[in-house]
Amino acid sequence: MSLKDEVHQLHAQLCNGLADPIRILILYSLSGGAKHVNELTEEVNVPQPTISRHLKILRERALVRSERKGQYIHYSLADERVIDALDLLRAVMADNFKKHGQLADEVARGSSSK
């Protein structure tokens, strides 16, 4: 595989890190400030091992950073621009719905800029 293709491969993997509803919820949650795993578990409302599995994926793609603080491990966004990218895509989606007259309001609400 050429070096250039490797870059596209990595670019795709980064995008793949965003391609799951739970991970999107985690990222938006972290955009409101660093949190530890239990807080995320409550906010996203899925079992703790599931959160940890998704956090591992986000870590592997360098989308989040983790830092141990005593007993807890604090997770934070690695780069705020990831939220910008998500918001852009959400806006694209909202416009599509507007064109087809469905769900547009709910999409517009609940973004990171709530």
Partner DNA sequence: TGCACATATTCGCAAAAGCGAATATGTGCA
Partner DNA sequence: TGCACATATTCGCTTTTGCGAATATGTGCA
User: Could you list the residues that contact a second copy (CB under 8 A)?
Assistant: 3-16, 18-21, 23-25, 62, 78-79, 81-82, 84-86, 88-93, 95-96, 103, 106-107, 110
**Burial of 40: CB neighbours in 10 Å, binned 0-12, 13-18, 19+:** buried
Candidates 7, 10, 11, 48; binder of DNA (CB under 7 A) is 48
Q: How many CB atoms lie within 10 A of CB 82?
A: 21
Contacts to DNA by CB under 7 A = 16, 19-20, 22, 36-38, 46-57, 66, 68, 70-73
